[in-house]
Amino acid sequence: MAELTFDNLTKRFDGAPALDRISASIGAGEFVALLGPSGCGKTTLLRLTAGFEHPDAGTIRVGGDIVAREGRFVPPEDREIGIVFQSYALWPHKTVAQNVSYPLEVRRVPRAAREARVAEALDLTGLRDFAGRMPAQLSGGQRQRVALARCLVFEPRAVLLDEPLANLDLALRASMQEVFTMFHRRTGATMLYVTHDQSEALALADRVAVMQAGQIRQFAAPEVLYREPADCFVAGFVGDGAVVPARLTGRAEAGRVLISVLGVEVWARSATATPSHVSIRPEAIALSDDGALRARVIGCTYLGGRFRLELEVAGETLVAFSARRAALGETLGVTITDPWAFRDPEAETLIARVLNHA
């Protein structure tokens, strides 16, 4: 499997940047998710990687080979990249086995080798018993597995997946997540997975690139994105909780700062001595009668085994988990423990004002 590398990659549509100088590397055998809202550029990056679009600037490498840059463009069929589409893109008049076999037929693989590789791909995706069926006779999840087997069969250098679970119901999505995880574990394929569903990205990927307005805001392991977001956008887009402005108190230790947030002083984890905001996840909130903050319950949702509470505190909305149901309007005591403080790149004016008055 091949490494994917993007260097200063730029793409414009009608003069507007869809990708703005993207630089990133995806290791051979790594599973990376591109996560972000509609229009952030994630599908454009996938299409550029596949060869369906020409970049306006920058370089794309697959396994060290340059496949796109100024003066050089390798067409999609020569990049040896497999693609799984949201729409499956199966031949309706071909059986499952024939659909899976098609990429090998195009490459003129001898019949005996072709049949052996098709059988192996069908076994890997749990489709051996469906080899003779037509696509119309399959469920959505089974069709998606056919698309995955067809992608796998020609041993691509990398696999691109464009929101492959978007057309499936909730139960099938959970089942197919397990299929993708198993597929990656057994094949060791380099996988680039586009989604706007953060639960999919966090559950499946080794690393996640969070995108906004054609740029990567943060590229890290799922647990890092959740516990240590780089800015307000990532903190608000990934996971549950609140993003609240913080005021410095001037005290700091290794990896920690003392900040004033919502009118109380709190020690927070931090990689900077000049944070502007704090990310408060539900796990960072303890509910007790003697909590330093008083919170009013404005929402209560049962999640199965626990309740998700929305709490109004000093004009901000926090999220907490509780073992018991809380009544709307009820007042609870809140203590904030171990939040993450960070310096948002767009908060320079706020930081300067705080430092001048410290």
**3-state SS assignment for residue 245:** strand
Distances (CA, A) of 80 to 7, 258, 316: 20, 52, 51
Give the residue from 99, 103, 20 showing the smallest Cα distance to 55: 20
Q: Which CATH number fits domain 240-356: 1.10.10.10, 3.50.50.60, 2.40.50.100, 3.40.50.300?
A: 2.40.50.100
Residues of the chain with CATH 3.40.50.300: 4-227
The token duo for 111 is 């019949």
Residues of the chain with CATH 2.40.50.100: 240-356
Query: Residue 238 pairs with which residues in a beta bridge?
Result: none
pLDDT score for 178:
79
Q: Which class in CATH covers the domain with range 4-227? A: alpha beta
DSSP state of 85: -
pLDDT in tens, the chain (358 residues): 789 999 999 999 988 899 999 999 999 999 999 999 989 999 999 999 999 999 999 999 999 899 999 999 999 989 989 888 877 788 999 999 999 999 898 889 999 999 999 998 898 888 899 999 999 999 888 888 898 888 888 888 899 998 887 777 777 777 778 777 877 887 788 999 999 889 889 999 999 999 999 999 999 999 999 999 999 999 999 999 999 999 888 777 788 999 999 999 999 999 998 899 999 999 999 999 888 899 999 999 999 999 999 999 999 999 999 999 999 999 999 999 999 999 998 765 444 444 454 4
**Cβ contact 184:32 at 8 Å:** no
pLDDT score for 152:
82
Distances (CA, A) of 136 to 91, 150, 164, 229: 10, 17, 18, 44
pLDDT score for 348:
58
pLDDT score for 165:
78
pLDDT score for 174:
76
pLDDT score for 163:
85
The token duo for 254 is 């290794």
Give the residue from 142, 167, 155, 22 showing the smallest Cα distance to 90: 142
Cα(96)–Cα(151) distance, integer angstroms = 13
